[in-house]
Amino acid sequence: MSDCHGNAPRASLLPNPSIRPPRSAVDRPIIVAIVGPPNSGKSTLFNRLTGLRQKVANFPGVTVEHRMGKAKLKGSQDVFLVDLPGVYSLHPRAEDEQVTHDVLTGERADFPKPDAVILILDVTNLGRNLVLAAPILSLGLPTQVLLNMADDLTARGGKVDVAALSAELDSPVALISAAKGTGIDRIQQFLLGTAARLNTPPVRIELPVLQDLPKCRQWAANLGMRASYRAPAPPLWTRRLDAIFLHPVGGPLVFAAVVVAVFQSIFSWAQPIMTGLQQAVASSGQWLNQVLPDSPWRSLLVDGIWSGVGSVVVFLPQILLLFLFIGILEDSGYLARAALIADRTMAKFGLQGKSFIPLLSAYACAVPAIMATRVIENKRDRMATIMIAPLMTCSARLPIYTLLIAAFVPNIPVIGGFLSLPVTVMLGLYVLGFVTAIAVARLLKSSILKSSGSSFVLEMPPYRWPTWQSLGLRLLDRAKVFLRRVGTVILVVAIGLWVLAHLPYSHGKAPDLEHSFAGMTGKAIEPLIQPLGFNWKIGIGLITSLAAREVIVGTLGTIYGIQGDEQSKGLQAAIHQDLSTAGAVALLVFFAFAMQCFSTLAVVKRETGGWRWPIFQFSYMLALAYSGSWLAFHATRYFLG
C-alpha cells in the first residue's frame, strides 16, 4: 500500500542532477536501482538493505511511486538505493514500466541515471524470471543478479550452479533469501564496490533480440540448463491452501470469515488501548489546566489544541490494526485469491477482480486505493473504481462511527451472542458503503463509463509468511502519515475553530459559542440540516469535516471543551444533548456517503487529469449523503416511535 494522504516529498535525498560532478568522480552519492518482476521479493530486500532510512516519493508528472533509501553499509561511501516498480519486461506499455525503463536508460531529466543495477529474481521459477535479465543486461550498467528465495529452492529440492550462471551472464550472481536475511553480505560487498566499478565495460555476452519473447524465453531456458538449474517441486502448501481458499463452498466462507474476524478484532483488541489513550489525554488536559495560569492562551492550548487533537489521536491504534490486517493479507498472497473470488461478482457490476484490491485498500484509506487503481489496464474500469473508492469505509470514518456507536448503541449480544449490537451496526455501515459503491459502479458502467469487454489477467503468487520487518515498516509509515495529519490539517482546523469560536469579543469577553463566528456559521446552515436531525453544533462539525472526516470528532471535542462543564462527562455523554438517536443514525449515514476529504479530491484530480471528475464525485456523494441521511432520520424516528 502506498502513501496515504500523501503529498509525497520528491527525492530530495539527491543533489540536483545538473550540478552533479562527472560520472568518474567518486565523492558523490552512488545510486543503485533495484529491479525485478512483481512478487520477486523486491520490497523485502529493499527494507532489509535500508531499514528505516527510506522514504516514499513520486516521480513528478506521473503517479508512479518509488522508494529511496540509504543502504546500511560499513564503508564511508554513501550508496542510495531506489526501489523501482516491479516489471516483467522493459517493453514500455504501462506507466510504471515506462518509468522503470526511463530511469534505467537515463531518459528522465529529473532523476539521475543509476550507477549500477541489482536485478532480483525469484529462483523458484528461474526460467521465466531470467527473461528479464536480457533487457537489464543490455543496458550496459554494472549489474548484480540476485537469486531470491534460496531457502524455498533447497527446501523443495531445486538447485542451481551460481558460479556457472555468473560466468554465463558475465556478472556477479548471488543466492539470497531476502525474507531470512541470508546472502545480504554479498549484496553489501557489491554495493561497496560500485564506485570502483563505474567505468567497467558492459558485459560481453550474446543477448537475444529483446522484441522476440519466445527467443528471450529460449535464451533463459538455455542459461538455466547450462547452470544446471533444477526447478523445485511445486509449492505443496500453496496447492493445499488453494484447495481450501478457492474451494467452491469453502472459499467464499473463508473469505467472509476473514472479513468478520478482522473487524471483530479491530473493535475488541483496540478498545483497551484506546480507553487508555483517552484517559491519558483527558487527565493530561486537566493537569495542564491546573498548572497553567488562567488566560485565553490556556484556553487555546487546553480546549482548542489538546481536546481537538487528542480526540483524534486516540484512534491511532484502531487505524494501525486495520492496516496491519490488510498488510498481512497482501503480503501473504491471499489478496490475489480474494481478487479472483471477487471477479465474478465484480463483473456483474461492470467491474473486475482487480478493482477489488484497491477497493479493499480503500477500507484503510482512499488515497493509496486510488493510486492502486493503476493495476487496472482498462481506463473506464479504472475510472469507475476511482469514483466509488471513497464510498468504502475508510479509517478516517472510524472516529465518528466509534463515537456515535458507543454513545447511542447499547452493548447487547445479537445473533445468538456471536456478535454484539455495536459490532453489528459497524458491520452494517461497512456493508452500506460497499453496497452503495457497487450500485453506483453499476450505474456508471451502464451509462457514462460503458465499455466493451475488459480482461482479467492476474498472477497468483505462492503463499508466503509476511515478515515482521515489512509489516512493521508499513505500520510505522502509516503512523507517521496519520500523526503528520494530526499535526497539520487537524491542528490547523482545531486552532482555527477555537479562534472562530472565541470571536468577536464583546465587552472584553469572549462570546458564548452560540454568538461566536463559528456559532453564527452553524446557525446559518441550520435550516438546511434540520430536516436531517442535526442542529447548528453538528453543523459546525459538518463544515470543518469537509477538510477531513476525522476532524468532526476534534471539532466536537473543541465545542464541548469550550463549554467547560463537559470535561468529565466525556464526549459520548455530551453529544446526547445535541443529537437524538434518529439524528445519530442520520449522521452515521451522512458520513458513510459524503466526500469529506481534501486529500482524496486532490489525488483524484491528479489521477484523472482535471477537476471534472473530482467535482462530479463530490457532488454525487453529497447528494447521496443528504438524501440518505434524510431517509435514515425519518425511518429511524418512525420505527423508534
Partner 1 sequence: MPAAQKTLADLRTGERCILDRLDLPESVARRLMELGFLPGNEVIPGHRAPGGGPRVFRVDGSEVALRADTAARLYIRRDPESDLIVLS
Maximum Cα–Cα distance for the chain, whole Å?
92
Nearest distance in Å: CB 456, partner 1: 5
Nearest distance in Å: CB 443, partner 1: 23
The smaller minimum CB distance to partner 1, of residues 213 and 479, is found at: 213
Dig out the grid coordinates for 53 from the structure.
Answer: 532510512
- Binding to partner 1 in span 130-159, by CB under 8 A: 131
Quick one: which segment of 12-20, 161-169, 401-409, 456-464 binds partner 1 (CB under 8 A)? 456-464
Residue 641 binds to partner 1 (criterion: CB under 8 A): no
Q: How far apart are CA 428 and CA 393, in angstroms?
A: 11
List, in order, residues 6 or more apart from 178 with CB less than 8 Å away: 41, 44, 45, 48, 120, 148, 149
Q: How far apart are CA 630 and CA 583, in angstroms?
A: 9
Quick one: which segment of 16-24, 260-268, 337-345, 503-511 binds partner 1 (CB under 8 A)? 337-345
Nearest distance in Å: CB 89, partner 1: 6
Host H or E run for residue 128: helix 126-130
Quick one: which segment of 6-14, 187-195, 341-349, 626-634 binds partner 1 (CB under 8 A)? 341-349
Dig out the grid coordinates for 21 from the structure.
Answer: 560532478
With CB under 8 A, what is the number of residues at the site for partner 1?
40
* Angle 474-475-477 from CA coordinates, rounded to 5°: 65
| C-alpha distance from residue 66 to each of 4, 60, 69, 300 (Å) | 14, 11, 10, 40
Smallest CA-to-CA distance from 32 within 205, 200, 204, 195 is with 195
The smaller minimum CB distance to partner 1, of residues 55 and 128, is found at: 128
Report the C-alpha dihedral over residues 242, 244, 248, 254, rounded to 10 degrees.
-110
Quick one: which segment of 46-54, 232-240, 502-510, 575-583 binds partner 1 (CB under 8 A)? 232-240
List, in order, residues 6 or more apart from 332 with CB less than 8 Å away: 463, 464, 465, 466
DSSP three-state, residue 139: coil
The smaller minimum CB distance to partner 1, of residues 42 and 549, is found at: 42
Quick one: which segment of 71-79, 121-129, 144-152, 531-539 binds partner 1 (CB under 8 A)? 121-129
Binding residue for partner 1, selected from 113, 128, 484, 606, defined by CB under 8 A:
128
Nearest distance in Å: CB 108, partner 1: 23
The smaller minimum CB distance to partner 1, of residues 214 and 641, is found at: 214
Binding residue for partner 1, selected from 162, 213, 259, 375, defined by CB under 8 A:
213
| C-alpha distance from residue 127 to each of 26, 140, 162, 241, 444 (Å) | 37, 22, 14, 25, 43
Nearest distance in Å: CB 73, partner 1: 34
CA 451 to chain centre: 28
Q: How far apart are CA 229 and CA 524, in angstroms?
A: 75
Quick one: which segment of 283-291, 317-325, 339-347, 529-537 binds partner 1 (CB under 8 A)? 339-347
Quick one: which segment of 191-199, 455-463, 474-482, 494-502 binds partner 1 (CB under 8 A)? 455-463
Residue 343 binds to partner 1 (criterion: CB under 8 A): yes
Residue 214 binds to partner 1 (criterion: CB under 8 A): yes
Residue 452 binds to partner 1 (criterion: CB under 8 A): no
Binding residue for partner 1, selected from 340, 370, 437, 587, defined by CB under 8 A:
340
Beta bridge partners of 67: 56, 83
Residue 219 binds to partner 1 (criterion: CB under 8 A): no
Nearest distance in Å: CB 341, partner 1: 5
The smaller minimum CB distance to partner 1, of residues 360 and 400, is found at: 360
Residue 64 binds to partner 1 (criterion: CB under 8 A): no
Binding residue for partner 1, selected from 23, 239, 379, 450, defined by CB under 8 A:
239
Look at the alpha carbons of 207, 213, 217, 222 in this order and tell me if their dihedral is positive or negative.
negative
Residue 124 binds to partner 1 (criterion: CB under 8 A): yes
Residue 436 binds to partner 1 (criterion: CB under 8 A): no
Strands 116-122 and 143-148: parallel
Look at the alpha carbons of 301, 303, 309, 313 in this order and tell me if their dihedral is positive or negative.
positive
Angle between helices 213-226 and 162-169 (to 10 degrees): 140
The smaller minimum CB distance to partner 1, of residues 27 and 459, is found at: 459
Binding residue for partner 1, selected from 197, 217, 523, 634, defined by CB under 8 A:
217
Residue 247 binds to partner 1 (criterion: CB under 8 A): yes
Nearest distance in Å: CB 207, partner 1: 17
Binding residue for partner 1, selected from 19, 201, 204, 249, defined by CB under 8 A:
249
Quick one: which segment of 59-67, 366-374, 395-403, 451-459 binds partner 1 (CB under 8 A)? 451-459
Strand order in the sheet with 65-70: 54-58, 65-70, 79-83, 30-35, 116-122, 143-148, 173-175
Q: How far apart are CA 431 and CA 423, in angstroms?
A: 12
Binding residue for partner 1, selected from 246, 260, 300, 483, defined by CB under 8 A:
246
Phi, psi of 317 (to 5 degrees): -60, -40
Q: How far apart are CA 471 and CA 329, in angstroms?
A: 11
Q: Burial code of 588-618, b = ≥16 C-beta within 10 A, e = fewer?
A: bbbbbbbbbbebbbebbbbbbeeeebbeebb
The smaller minimum CB distance to partner 1, of residues 248 and 641, is found at: 248
Burial of 76 (0-12, 13-18, 19+ CB in 10 A): exposed
Identify residue 563 by its one-letter amino acid code: Q
- Binding to partner 1 in span 481-510, by CB under 8 A: none
Q: Burial code of 210-234, b = ≥16 C-beta within 10 A, e = fewer?
A: eeeeeebbebbbebbeebebebbee
Quick one: which segment of 19-27, 233-241, 268-276, 401-409 binds partner 1 (CB under 8 A)? 233-241
Nearest distance in Å: CB 30, partner 1: 31
Binding residue for partner 1, selected from 162, 205, 341, 439, defined by CB under 8 A:
341
The smaller minimum CB distance to partner 1, of residues 131 and 139, is found at: 131
Binding residue for partner 1, selected from 181, 252, 496, 570, defined by CB under 8 A:
252
Residue 251 binds to partner 1 (criterion: CB under 8 A): yes
What does the binding site for partner 1 look like in residue numbers (CB under 8 A)? 88-89, 91, 93, 124-125, 127-128, 131, 213-214, 217, 231, 234, 238-239, 242-243, 246-249, 251-252, 336, 340-341, 343-345, 347, 353, 377, 453, 455-460
